[in-house]
Amino acid sequence: MSAVDDLIAAGRALVDAGLSPGSSGNVSVRDGDRLLMTGTGTRLGALRPDDVAVLDLDGVALGGARPSKEVALHVAMYARNPAHTAVVHVHSPSTVALSCLEPWAPHSAVPPLTPYTLMRVGQVPLLGFVPPGDPRMGALITDCPHPFRAALLANHGAVVSGDDLEGAVDSTVELEEACRIALLTHGRERRLIAAEHVRAITDRWGTPWSETPSLS
């Protein structure tokens, strides 16, 4: 399949997973020296080739559809994780809900409750709030002191990068589930994965994790 076909398939997968209500969210893929990104106002479950914007690696539009107003978010994620070739941004229910709460720890809004999130995503810092489309959105990504491949945007949703589109989509699905579990257990006496096991898992899978504080 072409990169456009892959982008269309990723959009459908996100909608099928219940992670992109209405026309919310956007997806991009790096294709050589250009970015392909879902256009503004498009529904990810009904993408067509002419709904795809073509940009250079700095986010400057080259053709195709009008790009999403959140281009800066995607460009910053590629700059942060240069080996990654895909970025997903969603307003999925559990990621939005958890992004409205105070974070579990400075380096991760999501506590270490299941090994699968640690394997697929690692730590998930909560970034500050700026209005959607604000150019400062990119600075939220670049200025974060913690390594990450997924983050929550305060009162907004999630952004995830991956080796490829399939990986980015899978990680986004895993993050939504992790946020749902965090919400279900919020305010209760939780049993977290011990710090030594967190370190062993993230080291084994190559996912980012900073030192775990003594929090519940």
Confidence of residue 132 (pLDDT cuts 50, 70, 90): confident
Per-chain mean pLDDT for the chain:
94
Q: Is the pLDDT of residue 1 over 80?
A: no
- Which one of the listed residues 70, 78, 174, 176 is annotated catalytic? 70
Q: What is the mean pLDDT of residues 5-26?
A: 91
**pLDDT at 215 exceeding the cut of 60:** no
78 given a catalytic annotation: no
Give pLDDT tens digits for 67-83: 888 999 999 999 999 99
Residue 135 has pLDDT above 90, yes or no: no
Question: What one-character-per-residue DSSP string does 163-208 give?
Answer: SSHHHHHHHHHHHHHHHHHHHHHTTS---PPPHHHHHHHHHHHT--
Please give the pLDDT value at position 216.
43
pLDDT of residue 23: 77
142-170 pLDDT tens trace: 999 999 999 999 999 999 999 999 999 99
Q: Rounded mean pLDDT of 9-24?
A: 90
Dihedral angle of Cα 168, 173, 177, 180, to the nearest 10 degrees: 100
Structure confidence at residue 41 (pLDDT): 87
pLDDT digits (tens, 9 = 90+) for 102-122: 999 999 999 999 999 999 999
pTM of the predicted protein model: 0.94
116 labelled catalytic: yes
Catalytic residue among 78, 116, 174, 177: 116
Report pLDDT for 24: 85
pLDDT at 180 over 80: yes
Taking a C-beta distance cutoff of 8 angstroms, is the pair 161, 80 a contact?
yes
- Mention every residue, 6+ apart, whose C-beta is less than 8 A from residue 59: 35, 67, 71, 72, 74, 75
Q: How confident is the model at residue 211 (pLDDT cuts 50, 70, 90)?
A: confident
| Domains located in the chain, CATH noted | 3-205 (3.40.225.10)
DSSP-derived 3-state class of residue 86: strand
